[in-house]
Amino acid sequence: MELNPPWVPQGIRLYMRREDVIHPHVSGNKWRKLDLNLEEAARQGAKTLVTFGGAFSNHIYATAAAAQEAGFASAGIIRGEPSSADNATLSFARSCGMELIFAGRTDYRDKATLAEKFKDRWERPCFLPEGGTNCLAIKGCAKIVDDSLLDMDVIVVPFGTGGTMAGLIASTPGRIRILGISALKGDFPKATVAQLLESCGERDHNNWEVDLHGHEGGYARVTEPLLDFIRDFRHSQDILLDPVYTGKMMFRLKDLMQQGIFEPGTRICAIHTGGLQGWAGMKERFGIDPPA
């Protein structure tokens, strides 16, 4: 759909792909990432999906819902304290039947050891990585690209592990520029994406870049200007963005547009990857409500 917020410069057309509405619980890119992984797990006769994530993780939330819907048991190895089991994200995961195991920050870093330690607990487990990114996830994210996206000059996507962006890169021709906006502080993404593409045997047109200046202080941090922007966007476009990924992407995109980095005539599509359950975490940690 085409958007028309007041900050889009003359001559530039801005669109949004609503991946946030593709499933009632399993939002956006997490659904895309799980889709082929679930198919493969079923083919291999796996019974329990086991994965990793933080206490407010979109991936944990999505895996719990998708596993239940597809008839798998599920377990989440969670970074943090058992006291977080009652937060909104983990309560939902438990309500889908997900078993939660908590690991301290140090143990959590070494996921291979954790997997080894717990693997006998489940009958026929299938382990999925934190954030859900693997080669099948990239293939799943490649399916975001359809004819309407092929009409674009630039596709903008939030960046966490880079799996979603890798899927877009793999499935678009070199004339389309892919711009990732990192939700994390740091300068590692460029190598990450190239490595992901290479290790999964996906083609790379080198038509992409990752912007590192939209993180607003770091992963899952928020600022007043960001929250104001999300509120305004909600009111002017009637679309709710999430505070961790898509809000930061659009806020940074606004900035880049106002800096004049896009030529007049450019068609830009931003991917709304979902993540709206993340507002529950904002409420619990900082008392911040989503805009009404």
If one asks whether residue 37 binds ligand PLP (CB under 6 A), the answer comes out as no
Give the Cα separation of 276 and 225 in Å (integer): 19
Q: Write the binding mask 197 to 236 for ligand PLP: x where contact by CB under 6 A, - elsewhere.
A: ----------------------------------------
Identity of the amino acid at 184: L
Q: Contact region for ligand PLP (CB under 6 A) — 97-105, 110-118, 160-168, 197-205? A: 160-168
Q: Contact region for ligand PLP (CB under 6 A) — 6-14, 27-35, 96-104, 258-266? A: 27-35
Q: How far is the CB of 117 from ligand PLP (least distance, A)?
A: 25
Mention every residue, 6+ apart, whose C-beta is less than 8 A from residue 123. Answer: 47, 48
Lookup: tokens for 283: 């409420």
Q: Is 96 exposed, middle or buried (0-12, 13-18, 19+ CB in 10 A)?
A: middle
Our CB check for ligand PLP shows the closer of 126 and 249 to be 249
Q: Write the binding mask 259 to 288 for ligand PLP: x where contact by CB under 6 A, - elsewhere.
A: --------------xxx-------------
Enclosing H/E stretch for 28? helix 28-43
Our CB check for ligand PLP shows the closer of 68 and 134 to be 134
DSSP state at residue 19:
G
Q: 């009632």: which residue's tokens?
A: 24
Q: 């607003």: which residue's tokens?
A: 216
Our CB check for ligand PLP shows the closer of 56 and 122 to be 56
| Selected binder of ligand PLP within 76, 140, 162, 290 (CB under 6 A) | 162
Our CB check for ligand PLP shows the closer of 192 and 266 to be 192
**What is the b/e burial string over 166-194, where b = at least 16 CB atoms within 10 angstroms of the residue's CB?**
bbbbbbbeeebbbbbbbbeeeeebeebbb
Report the interface residues with ligand PLP, using CB under 6 A. 28-30, 58, 131, 133, 158-165, 242, 245-246, 273-275
